[in-house]
Amino acid sequence: MRPWSPILIEDCGEPLRPLPGTLLRMEPHPYMALGAPYGASGNPFQLRQGVVQRLMDAQQRLIEHDPSLRFGIFDAWRPIAVQAFMVDHSIAELCLERGVKARSGDAFDRVVADVERFWAAPSRDPSTPPPHSTGAAVDLTLSSSDGTPLAMGGEIDAIGAVSEPQHYSGREDSDSRCWHQRRQLLADVMEEAGFAQHPNEWWHYSFGDQLWAWRKGATVARYAEAVSSALTS
């Protein structure tokens, strides 16, 4: 259970819409490249209609701040089957990194706990959908206008303190100041457009899901699990 899990959802019925070409995509899509089970209608670069518009508004704010910058979209809509695949993949990768061979015991439990700080459980309970399954959440970074991602002081999906939004706050070396400023700029333009940031992830923002409602003090979330009805591009 997350702090936002008890929040009621009243889905507003908005459809998923493909992201417009003015929003740069980080391709090849990382989870598709791993073989994640998106299915025939599984275009990850789509979000709820109202979320797409807010994302466009946020990018316009970014351009007004610095015309050389754009968003780089890492991931958007994610079906629950993909969420389950990626949770298992992340656990396996962290076990390999830490030399944990047994799928039980204290070391394995620590791996699972660390993964769960960053990956929502692939819940099929309609009252607790993973954020990305709703079409309300997006993972993104800052890029140059030619699509080159900027260094942000940590990779998207990195498991550890380096991923926390304020990890570099107050540090005096030039790289840390740069990374903090970039993370803060991303946060500023997204929050001005109405998005809420995941407390553990500098790259994750959402509008209208339970996490958003929890962070904004709303009593009801606008988006439940979303299912793509046709292949979009």
Express each pLDDT in 48-66 by its tens digit.
999 999 999 999 999 999 9
Question: Of the listed 10, 27, 192, 201, which one is catalytic?
Answer: 201
Mean pLDDT of 116-126: 96
Q: Is-catalytic flag, 201? A: yes
Give residues with Cβ within 8 angstroms of 117, minimum separation 6: 159, 200
Q: Which stretches does DSSP call E strand in the chain?
A: 8-9, 16-18, 24-25, 46-48, 69-75, 137-144, 196-197, 204-206, 220-221
Give mean pLDDT, residues 211-232: 87
Q: Name the average pLDDT for the chain.
A: 95
* Token pair recorded at residue 214: 């929890």
- Quick one: how far is CA 52 from the chain centroid? 14
Q: How far apart are CA 132 and CA 137, in angstroms?
A: 5
Confidence band for 229, pLDDT divided at 50, 70 and 90: low
Contacts of residue 165, Cβ cutoff 8 Å, sequence gap at least 6: 183, 187, 197, 199, 201, 202
The helix or strand, by DSSP H or E, that contains position 168, with its residue range, turns out to be none
**Which domains are seen in the chain, by residue range?**
8-78+126-221 (3.30.1380.10)
What pLDDT was estimated at residue 39?
85
Tokens standing for residue 74? 């890492």
Looking at residue 232, its pLDDT comes to 40
The share of the chain scoring above pLDDT 90, in percent, equals 92
**Could you tell me the pTM of the whole model?**
0.94
